[in-house]
Amino acid sequence: MEEIYLDHNATTPLNNSISRIINKYDKLLYGNPSSPYKIGRISRIEVEKSREKVARIINCSKDEVYFTSGGTESNNLAIQGSLNYLRRFGKINAKKRIITTEIEHLSVLNVFKELSKEGVKNYDVVFLPVDNSGFVDMEKFKSSIDSNTILISIMLANNEVGSIQSIKEMVKIAKSKNKNIIFHCDAVQGLGKIRVDVKDLEIDMLSISSHKFYGPKGVGALYVRKGVNIYPLFFGGHQEKSIRPGTENVVSIIAFGYACDMARENLEKNYKILTNLKKFFKDMLFEKLDKIVNVRVNSPEENCLPNTLNICFKGIDSELLISLLSQQGIYVSSGSACTSDSLEPSHVLLAMGIPENLAHNAIRFSFGIENKKKDLILTVKKIKKIILENKLNFSKA
């Protein structure tokens, strides 16, 4: 049975050349990068080469890049680490405001929810709403910032519907009201699909993760602009300037660096491939399924990731359709992989004003550069066949 993978926002398959790099270095570079002898020094050199590659793709100094285990750790380190530093060193002596949105990844959203439990004493937490396309209203954003605001964390691109926020404009608004506000951006879903330039965005911190653009899982990075201070979340050795202690995951870091180079070199080409695949699939869905089921597009038409299409098949339970597609070797999801065990509807779709019953009908298709048009043709045929054979919906019959 042919397998078709259409869940690249959850994770991407490891690129073949990256896989060969891992196999090559896994046996060669077993030395601890902190060791003083030759095999340790060689490992250190390779780690620093990768730091330069990561810096290159986001346009920063390599001294501003800290390796982590991935997006979740990077987000936690950015948010909690910066707040902990301010509290520990006396720069917070009153209740302060921190701002995020209602559609963040759970590794940001749940951090803010935890911080809101401290709200009576420490934090005034603001969760900004979004419109029905998944965008933050700029006037509401502007009015949410007051003189007590110290931290803002807003994602670059949403992992479920693909909406790309106007981060550059937001940073300018925030800094014009208070230049000392720390602005963090979760760019995990954006890097590798769209241009990410920290100098152009003028942000203070940015999170990225290797496995979202054909690199290995379990490795990511946090950009911290020079002059911004963060306090570690845990303690140990001197690795990563003591901000992220622990022996480095050398081979994965090396592979991460190569994945960054590949993403940077192929960005424009891949953007066109993904954009064309997405349009082809969307057009075919409406052409082939219009007579048997109501199809609603939740992803915005503009300012959207080129590979992401969130669709509601009205009246059809998404988990059932996903399961039946899986039996046919077609792999999609209803949203974030981090919420796959939950029966609750997507918090992103609910925040966009989509009714709960319709949110239960949503499926996210996220395409990759290895997908072909024939894969998408087969996927639509399978969806149509499943709907008809299982009598899942007769709303347009």
Are 161 and 308 in contact, with CB atoms under 8 Å apart? yes
Name the residue among 130, 150, 141 with its Cα closest to residue 172.
141
Distance CA 58, CA 115 (A): 29
What DSSP character marks residue 333? B
Report residue 316: phi and psi, to 5°: -110, 120
Distance CA 100, CA 125 (A): 8
Are 103 and 351 in contact, with CB atoms under 8 Å apart? yes
Count of Cβ atoms closer than 10 Å to residue 3 Cβ: 10
Distance CA 59, CA 52 (A): 10
Taken in order 84, 86, 91, 94, the sign of the CA dihedral is negative
Are 370 and 213 in contact, with CB atoms under 8 Å apart? no
Q: Which amino acid is at 193?
A: K
338 assigned to active site: yes
Distance spanning both ends of the chain, measured CA to CA? 30
Taken in order 373, 375, 376, 377, the sign of the CA dihedral is positive
Distance CA 213, CA 12 (A): 6
Q: Which amino acid is at 235?
A: F
Instruction: Report, as residue numbers or ranges, the catalytic residues.
Output: 338
